[in-house]
Amino acid sequence: MTAPTALAAAEGRLKPAAELAGSPGTAPGPHAATSRHSLEIDGDDRARGRWDTEPIVPRLYYMPRTRSSRVLWLLAELGAPCELTRLAPEERKSAEHLARHPLGRVPALELDDGTVVFESAAICLQLADLHPDAGVIPPLGSAERALVYQWVLFGMTELEAPLYRWVREGAEGSTDSPEHGRFAQSAAALESALEGREWLLGERFTVADVICASVLGSAHSRGLLADWPGLQAYVERGEARPAFIEAAAIANQPRS
Ligand SMILES: N[C@@H](CCC(=O)N[C@@H](CS)C(=O)NCC(=O)O)C(=O)O
């Protein structure tokens, strides 16, 4: 088993699809027109898609600068091999992608048995469960696992949902935003939960931090965390992690 590291772009280990030709898992198929990459972890052949002796790895359908970024971050934390298929914006509404995601959105993850999972938080939880040794998800049934579920759902419903409504209201010129109030309440609650802690579960970094810090990261990048210095510091701690930096090389590519 390879040591968990890197998504790889930094050292040129991100392989274009052309270099993957010849293996069943990567043969040019209906997605040949999309920009495909495979993550190579520490030179591990499995990540290059050489399946002769190795299991098929999942495939992430993604676009840069979207909620796909949190999945890329988690993959880097896990050191997990994964094939990447980058979709062009117009491909999201193609029949092919609508068969993966009924709303034509990204990210979507195809598991090794062909099942496709959408919703970034669900994808992150599933990937964390597939790699228990990485330690980003506590054992099933434990109190810590319950807290991970709590913060993942809080991040998606109480932080992200009002944040994007607030951002939309701002873009529409609204000065009095009820969604700002709702986001502010949740932000204050999270900031106080983090008091004296590095991560939501204490010293242990978990998948809940990937979700919450990535949601808050998009608030921070818009200058919307000025009232919560504790959350700014939390986002900055997350973004200083080597896995985040590796993932950013893919996640922050220009949208084209
Ligand atoms: N709740 C979903 C949201 C997915 C989503 O809205 N993705 C955006 C990119 S960040 C998208 O694909 N939008 C295209 C569209 O709405 O047509 C998740 O977390 O995966």
Q: Say yes or no: 147 and 127 in one domain.
A: no
Q: Is 29 exposed, middle or buried (0-12, 13-18, 19+ CB in 10 A)?
A: exposed
101 lines ligand 1 (CB under 6 A): no
| pLDDT tens for each residue of 62-107 | 999 999 999 999 999 999 999 999 999 999 999 999 999 999 999 9
Bridge partners for 109 per DSSP? 60, 117
100 lines ligand 1 (CB under 6 A): no
Q: Say yes or no: 14 and 122 in one domain.
A: yes
| pLDDT tens for each residue of 178-212 | 899 999 999 999 999 999 999 999 999 999 999 99
| pLDDT tens for each residue of 24-42 | 333 333 333 343 444 443 4
Would residue 15 count as lying in a domain? yes
Give the torsion sign (CA, 106, 110, 116, 121).
negative
What is the domain count for the chain? 2
Q: Mean pLDDT, the chain, as a whole number?
A: 84
Looking from the CA of residue 104, the nearest atom of ligand 1 is 17
Q: What is the pLDDT of residue 6?
A: 39
**Domain range holding 159?**
143-241
251 lines ligand 1 (CB under 6 A): no
Q: Say yes or no: 90 and 152 in one domain.
A: no
Which residue has the CA at smallest separation from atom 3 of ligand 1? 119
Q: Say yes or no: 89 and 52 in one domain.
A: yes
Please tell me the distance between residue 176's alpha carbon and the centre of ligand 1 in angstroms.
26
Quick check: 19 pLDDT over 50?
no
Quick check: 57 pLDDT over 90?
yes
66 lines ligand 1 (CB under 6 A): yes
Quick check: 233 pLDDT over 90?
yes
Q: What angle separates helix 229-239 from helix 178-193, to the nearest 10 degrees?
A: 70
Q: What is the pLDDT of residue 83?
A: 97
Q: Say yes or no: 91 and 181 in one domain.
A: no
